A = this chain, B = another copy of it.
Amino acid sequence: MAPDGEVSDAAGEAMVAQRPISNILIIIAMQTEATPVVNKFQLVEEPESSFPKGVPWVWYHGIYKDLHINLVWPGKDSNLEVDSVGTVSASLVTYAAIRALQPDLIINAGTAGGFKAKGASIGDVYLVSDVTFHDRRIPIPVFDLYGIGLRHAYPTPNLLKDLNLKVGKLSTGDSLDMSPQDEATIIANDASVKDMEGAAVAYVADLLKVPTIFVKAVTDIVDGEKPAAEEFLQNLAAVTAALDEAVAQVIDFINGKCLSEL
């Protein structure tokens, strides 16, 4: 039993699941992916964020219907001026944003590579069921499982029925391309889509016990003919539109609902 005046973890979680979601945190790795969401929901940048001096992380926020929407983007690398993609930046910004904003729900949205062997096409939007890493090979018992880092997305059966998105597993690695070793792990992970952030966001959200869902739109076919980088850049703008439409639909669905109704 919890001491008087305190609520046990399980009871606390059950209470949160029963009251309407009010505070959501959208984590997006690239400016091109973030800007349409910022514009659609008329989010404003907070210049005096609670992030420490020196970090490039950008926090946008605003009110939409009954929701307080926060969007955090890791910003441009201070030295190189490119988007701070990948697992290290994603894990840091997820940690700092959870600590500062105490969200009820995280939506990690972004573009991804898709596998045609698993039925993915350019422009498809996936609601992810499970996330794993594919570039953390530690061939020592139990450490191997730690490296894979399997985590489940928060279950959202009603959202899925309503939106008619594709469902699949996501595998994360810090490279845009795919080595034969990555490919073997991705196949073992049974992934339909691959990105560069999802499993890191999931790791941090799991540490700090924040329910998280993943919305990923396919910019390039990894097991196709074209080089990933070329196809990615070619389709980024168009696919981002599909991604942002899906994110908007997800937010409209979430509004007024409890976690347990998703």
Instruction: State whether B209 touches A138 (Cβ < 8 A).
Output: no
Which residues from 70 to 109 on chain A have a C-beta closer than 8 Å to any C-beta of chain B? 77-78, 80-82, 84-88, 91-92, 95-96, 99
Of the 9-residue stretches A60-68, A116-124, A160-168, A173-181, which lies at the interface with chain B? Answer: A173-181
Q: Please report whether the interface of chain A is mostly helix, strand, loop or mixed according to DSSP.
A: loop
Find chain B residues with CB under 8 A from A135 CB: 135, 173-175
**CB within 8 Å of B: which of A173-221?**
173-177, 179-181, 200, 203-204, 207-209
Report whether B174 and A92 are in contact in the complex, using a CB–CB cutoff of 8 Å: no
Contact present for A99 and B52 (CB under 8 Å): yes
Asked whether, in the complex, the Cβ of B80 is within 8 Å of the Cβ of A146, the reply is: yes
> Once the chains bind, are B147 and A207 in contact (CB under 8 Å)?
no
Residue of B nearest to A99 (CB): B52
Complex interface: chain B residues within 8 A of A86 (CB): 136, 147
Which A residues lie at the B interface, using CB under 8 A? 52, 54-55, 77-78, 80-82, 84-88, 91-92, 95-96, 99, 133, 135-140, 142-143, 145-147, 173-177, 179-181, 200, 203-204, 207-209, 227, 229, 233
Q: List 19 A-B contacts (CB under 8 A).
A: A54-B207, A55-B208, A78-B207, A80-B146, A82-B142, A84-B146, A85-B146, A86-B136, A88-B203, A92-B204, A137-B174, A137-B175, A137-B176, A137-B177, A139-B177, A139-B229, A143-B176, A147-B175, A179-B179
